[in-house]
Amino acid sequence: MGSMFGRHIIKAISALVVCGTASAWWIFDSEPPKPYGPLPTEQQVKWLRMEWYAFVHFGLNTYTDREWGYGDESPGLFNPSEFNAEEIVKTFKDAGMNGMIYTAKHHDGFCTWPTESTEHNITKTPWKEGKGDVVREFADACQKHDFSFGTYLSPWDRNCAEYGRAGYLDVYYKQIQELLTNYGPIFEIWFDGAMGGDGYYGGARQGRNIGNADNYYNYAHVVKMIRGLQPDCIIWGAAGRGDATWAGSEQGYARSYPLWNVRGDKWLSWEADTPINHRGWFWHPGQGSHVKSPEDLMKIYMSSVGRGANLILNLAPNRNGKLDPADVAALQVFGKMRKELLANDYALDAKAAASSEYGYSNSADKLTDDDIESFWSPAEDDKNPTVEITLETPATFDVIRLREQIRLGQRVEAFQVDAWVDGAWKTIVAPGQPGQSEDLPPRGKEWLKHVQDGRGYTIGNQVMRWLSSPVTTDKLRLTITRSKAVPCISEFSLLSMPKADARQEGTAAAEEGVLKPAGWTYGGFAAEKAALAFDNNPDTKWEIERCPSHFRVDMKHEHTVSGFAYLPRQDGRTHGMTSRYRFETSTDGNNWTIAAEGEFGNLRANPVEQIISITPQKARYIRFFSTAALDGKASSVAEFRIYGK
């Protein structure tokens, strides 16, 4: 410490000598550590501090019960008679969010603003007699409520005749230009990665392959254009040329921890996305019973924001233009829990004593001063930097939050936290080990079990480690066990996880109307495995290395069948995941009626249960055909349910 202080005084004096007339405050300041590695832009710093915001999927799919429209849907369907953008924005804001991103155009190519780029737009709808503009209403409501507004503009366009050819680029660039010119500040623009495949394409109804997306869309040009129009706008995606990227799952968690905001020589931040409702990104009839519980939302938050990524949480308006009440209820409870979690930091103003300090301005007390800009750094030659934190009175907590001063780069590779319990140090966050990582398994709900008791790896903008059992103490010790350069830690907080409101529990999927498979027999391909699709166990499945193929069910009695549910394979693989289907019914097992056929969109990124309703009809037999599959000629079904009575 002595030599450190001496060095600091020398620095200050030499600064005075060099600057001559330097103002007196410089004497009380010291030079911070030098920046390390790629640095975030000011926009990226601000964006990371937003933490979470809303996604809003709302368009023609809202009216067709689909996730991916084909491109031939009639704009005549769009008529949200009770749409009130302000009410939606206020709901988000009350929950503690600070921005929203709206799907101005999804893959079906329908533009929800009066664009000059295509006829397939809002002016052709009955809503407000063709004079409406959803983008305008959201943008204005956001501006009025001091809420950030962003936009999603799907690069893939299944409506445009020119898609896949050079002609589409003029259309697409025009759309970007309109959205970034006419609607005020856009905090983030989202370039989805889904691209190419079959579609309407102006009537061609064919498959189109664009090859390399980065080449086809010319993202280098797109990025340049956006920087010119709105330099503060965060660009998401764009083949890695933007400012932020996908955290690797549509379940809302960062797939892997440690999480480095660095790709090559560039700072690139992460965003995890998920819909609040298990049914998907767009609103679907009867989705109320499929909302994620507030407890699950908290686990999602802890494994996205808690790992250093941002979280974008989708709430979809229904056909009237209103948010689903069940979604809103879950959001409100989770929002309240999050506020309570962050409201009380037991380490605030606690005494902090470090093994060393880099300089006077980077003393240990900066960790507990509630100032995100100030930070503690140890001396350069301190290879085992620790800080002891002493609270005024013992506190009980189960979440530890740390933040790095990311303006100087991301540095910390691993850390450890010990608590003084019963007269000895007890490790409550073990340090992450070199070459290891915490990867959440990409399996349905299973991954939620893996959220607590993680190790200490990267910190970045922030990291939260959630302990499965609370700790009570008045003394803690933080050790930075590995760091790429002198650590710069801005905050150390001790938080306590609130319990969910009991009234919100039990929102799990209602099983109303599901026919019980007792005594049923199966036929068709791989008939001996068909029962595995009806055993309520997503780990076992009906599968066959063949597509198209099908299985047949004899329910032994006639029922009125009103629909079915299909759960794609949940083992993290996509080979043979059924992506197109046909569902047939029969009363005698000989004459079959096609009750439904179509596409299951977006399974690759979000393999959630797909529920299809049919016109209720009498049937003793059903056949489920897998007519197309992802990644290879195979078919599979993890779980299947038949609805009826």
By CB under 6 A, name the binding residues for ligand FUL. 67-68, 192-194, 273, 281, 602, 605
Nearer to ligand FUL by Cβ, of 158 and 401: the residue is 158
Q: Are 402 and 463 in contact (CB under 8 A)?
A: yes
148-153 and 188-191: which strand pairing? Answer: parallel
* Helices first, then strands: H and E counts in the chain: 11, 28
Residue 228, φ and ψ in degrees, nearest 5: -70, -40
Q: Are 518 and 362 in contact (CB under 8 A)?
A: no
The CA–CA distances, whole Å, from 272 to 150, 297, 371 equal 16, 13, 26
Nearer to ligand FUL by Cβ, of 534 and 600: the residue is 600
CB of 209 to ligand FUL, least distance (A): 17
Q: Which helix (H) or strand (E) holds 343?
A: helix 325-343
The CA–CA distances, whole Å, from 181 to 185, 186, 226, 230 equal 9, 9, 10, 8
Nearer to ligand FUL by Cβ, of 160 and 395: the residue is 160
CB of 156 to ligand FUL, least distance (A): 8
Q: Are 492 and 367 in contact (CB under 8 A)?
A: yes
CB of 318 to ligand FUL, least distance (A): 17
Nearer to ligand FUL by Cβ, of 444 and 456: the residue is 444
The CA–CA distances, whole Å, from 140 to 104, 150, 416 equal 14, 12, 46
Distance, CA of 96 to CA of 297 (rounded, Å): 14
CB of 321 to ligand FUL, least distance (A): 19
CB of 248 to ligand FUL, least distance (A): 12
CB of 331 to ligand FUL, least distance (A): 17
Residues 6+ apart with CB under 8 A from 120: 75, 109, 110, 111, 159, 160
Nearer to ligand FUL by Cβ, of 315 and 352: the residue is 315
CB of 66 to ligand FUL, least distance (A): 10
Eight-state DSSP code of residue 456: B
Give me the residue label for tokens 């002493």: 390
Distance, CA of 248 to CA of 261 (rounded, Å): 14
Which residue, among 312, 335, 338, 330, has the nearest Cα to 56 in the 3D structure?
A: 312
CB of 438 to ligand FUL, least distance (A): 24
Nearer to ligand FUL by Cβ, of 292 and 641: the residue is 292
CB of 613 to ligand FUL, least distance (A): 20
Distance, CA of 365 to CA of 416 (rounded, Å): 19
Nearer to ligand FUL by Cβ, of 192 and 365: the residue is 192
Residue nearest to ligand FUL (CB): 194
Nearer to ligand FUL by Cβ, of 8 and 66: the residue is 66
- The amino acid present at 574, given as its one-letter code, is T
- Nearest 5°: the CA angle 138, 142, 145 is 140
